[in-house]
Chain A
């Protein structure tokens, strides 16, 4: 079963609306969560990395005030697209990684994505 739950799976809303997307780790503590954006027929582009209890680290070119990320607990991160416009329409995918242990490579799990359409 899914270990990362992303909600909602699809959003259609009017321009100017703010949209919140939730990403939850279901059976592990996610110290680090990642938010990706994917345009049609393109690859996943990392938007930001968030660590629980601290500010997110945004990739170059990603507007911090536009894409608000909150990682308030070890199982929940949210991405809020503020004042969304048609150019923000995209597929957004979150990913969660568990705590570091033994210096090895921790598994990284992906949500099923959110398809955002701004009219």
Chain B
């Protein structure tokens, strides 16, 4: 069974500093995708970044980058130059890719609440 673990329930970071949000996962399927979502207090889920299990390079999207270490089964999110608007809940998620598993659904970690200090 797939599993996602986020060990940081909350983090405080000074504005303009970089921050790393931890995520480890477990799956027996060789094909999977890893996601990070941001959820502000309004509730909507905002997609940030995606990493495929066969991708050779770490994914980057603007200020977001994903530090993918396949052997260690970790997929940490790095936010560079944090901004006040980055304050939100952040969820790591995983989905096994169809064709190898019938359980093709996204499951979420417990989340990390990030607070940016001015």
Contacts and interface: CB of A to CB of B under 8 A. Distances in A.
A105 B111 contact: no
Interface stretch (B14-22, B57-65, B72-80, B91-99): B91-99
Contacts, number: 46
A115 B44 CA distance: 11
A42 B109 CA distance: 9
B33 A105 contact: yes
A93 B45 contact: yes
A110 B44 contact: yes
B108 interface: yes
B30 interface: no
Given A34-B105, A105-B33, A43 B43 contact: no
Contacts of A110: 37, 44-45, 47
Given A43-B110, A43-B111, A105 B97 contact: yes
Interface of A: 34, 41-44, 46, 49, 91, 93, 95, 100, 103-105, 108-113, 115
Interface of B: 33, 37, 42-45, 47, 50, 52, 91, 95, 97-99, 105-111, 113
